Chain A
């Protein structure tokens, strides 16, 4: 079976992001493979390690710098990768169409996508890919077992969590708790350099045009009061209650 992990490269959570008049400025920012996508790569490795006969493929759609995240997934243990290289910022629906075409061509049966991506804060890509393929999906997945041609999963719902069974082929979006992703070892980082990384251009996949347009990006600058009290705990607590009641009028 072919298993595909869709991966993104995103700014490190600790990175300081600046805004300019033309949008956010990612110059000098450290980028990493999206932590949510790592769960997917890890899960595909574990499926193979527990006996599933599978080829593991990473696919990424984004600018040249994404190569680094792709290499990370190869160093973790994926077999090969496909990079559709573009500087264009395409919305998730359009991206999903492009990715679905490649998934179809590859004949994959299981696709992992990060549950919520740390650049767009978007949870749309996984379900949109599933819809484009006409496959079922499981979102916010925290546990997964493949048995024959079906999947048994546990996932987070609005009310708590529930178990689902779904037939393959299927898309699975990941969530914290699914697993603890491994760190690539040095020998595996070296090995990853020799693994196949196929490059495609957006024009190879039909040059889709996006459905949304980014107008502005601004850094959140809600100014805070920063009134910090010190000293005797009981006095400070009383004063805080008074401030919340009389000044902020929230309790």
Chain B
């Protein structure tokens, strides 16, 4: 059986949960066994019911200690579920928290970890995955030499499953130990901007130093993102300058994104930035320097001043 850990936030399922289900379906077709999806949290009955529209078997694990995604309680619950259900594969989203606890789960199960994967296949009883390495310059294919295997799935790559099932929800106790709660969460600063989250966005508009200032973001980047219902990204130069929050940084030390369309405004295209966005399906660049490296990875580009081009582009897009 294939165990899926479905992520949710503020009472709704994340898109990654539906991507994990399609990845799990692919694995169960080849490895055999059914798919069981689990939701962990403090108050998850609504999310569990929602999830049951997409898959036949849902397990809801409710415990106050699971309200925040902390690595140790999550490791404990996920490992117990995997053992009790005799999972062949455990699928987790490669979000920040998912990357963090999935490594602990693999260690506790003493099994292979396939991290941040972009495709999955099965040969006999061995799972094969592709993933990026070397700052996303290389695609590597790796094989897990044993089962079970813990797999974290890169967001926004796998297709989502459509609602079809009317599944059952079963409640299970978390059964946590005192040591699972050694790490205490204090204050939280949400990076909520009211916009679509970067790793779920279909379109991302990113501003670089060429946008000029935080006012430049308000004047150029935000309005274009608004008409496209896009997420907003930033380069490190912009974050370092304090124009935008770090949560919007795309690149080696920020987020890795692969949206349908990535629009880079006044971004030079440094390797560390490219590693976070070069897997986007379509890349658009606007830069006044025709030799900027960003044009090498661009599908469409305009050599021009963002102050002239972007307002005109916004108008043209609005009147489509």
Instruction: List chain A positions with a Cβ less than 8 A from chain B.
Output: 11, 13-14, 17, 19, 24, 35-36, 91-93, 96-97, 115-116, 118-128, 130-132, 136-140, 142, 152, 156-167, 175-177, 210-220, 222, 224-230, 233-234, 236-238, 240-245, 248, 250-251
Contact = CB atoms under 8 A, between A and B. Distances in A.
B271 interface: yes
B305 interface: yes
Contacts of A238: 312, 316
Contacts of B100: 123, 127, 137, 139-140
Contact of B146 (A11, A14, A211, A240): A211
Measured as residues with beta carbon below 8 angstroms from the partner, the interface class of chain B is 35 or more
A233 B306 CA distance: 9
A159 B188 contact: yes
B69 interface: yes
B107 interface: yes
Given A157-B188, A161-B188, 13 more contacts: A13-B252, A115-B253, A140-B96, A160-B189, A160-B190, A163-B186, A165-B184, A176-B254, A215-B141, A222-B278, A237-B315, A244-B261, A244-B284
A123 to B, nearest CB: 4
For the complex of A and B, the 7 pairs showing the least CB-CB separation, nearest first, are A160-B191, A241-B316, A237-B312, A233-B308, A163-B186, A124-B103, A211-B112
22 contacts: A13-B271, A120-B133, A123-B115, A123-B116, A136-B71, A139-B71, A159-B188, A159-B191, A160-B192, A165-B183, A175-B253, A176-B236, A211-B111, A228-B295, A229-B302, A229-B303, A230-B290, A234-B312, A236-B304, A238-B312, A248-B282, A251-B203
B190 A251 contact: no
A119 B134 contact: yes
Interface string B271-297: 110010011001110000010000111
Given A131-B103, A157-B97, A211-B144, A124 B191 contact: no
A166 B203 contact: no
Nearest to B114: A212
Contact of A17 (B134, B246, B283): B134
B298 interface: yes
B104 interface: yes
B136 A220 contact: yes
Main secondary structure, interface of A, reads: mixed
B128 A217 contact: no
A165 to B, nearest CB: 5
Contacts of A251: 203, 228, 261, 317, 320
Contacts of B107: 93, 96-97, 127-128, 131-132
Given A14-B271, A156-B96, A224-B299, A166 B308 contact: no
Given A139-B96, A215-B128, A237-B309, A228 B186 contact: no
Contact of A230 (B297, B304, B316): B304
Nearest to B9: A159
B112 A245 contact: no
A17 B138 CA distance: 8
B320 to A, nearest CB: 5
Contact of A248 (B236, B246, B300): B300
B316 to A, nearest CB: 4
B138 to A, nearest CB: 5
A162 B104 contact: no
A158 B135 contact: no
Contacts, number: 280
Contact of A228 (B68, B128, B302, B309): B302
B243 interface: no
Contacts of A219: 137-139
Contact of A121 (B136, B141, B298): B136
Nearest to B271: A13
Contacts of B99: 123-124, 127, 139
Interface string B102-141: 1110111011111110000000000010011111111111
Contact of B304 (A176, A220, A227, A233): A233
A133 to B, nearest CB: 10
Contacts of B192: 159-160
B301 interface: yes
Contacts of B80: none
B131 to A, nearest CB: 7
A250 B296 CA distance: 20
A213 B184 CA distance: 37
B101 interface: yes
B178 interface: no
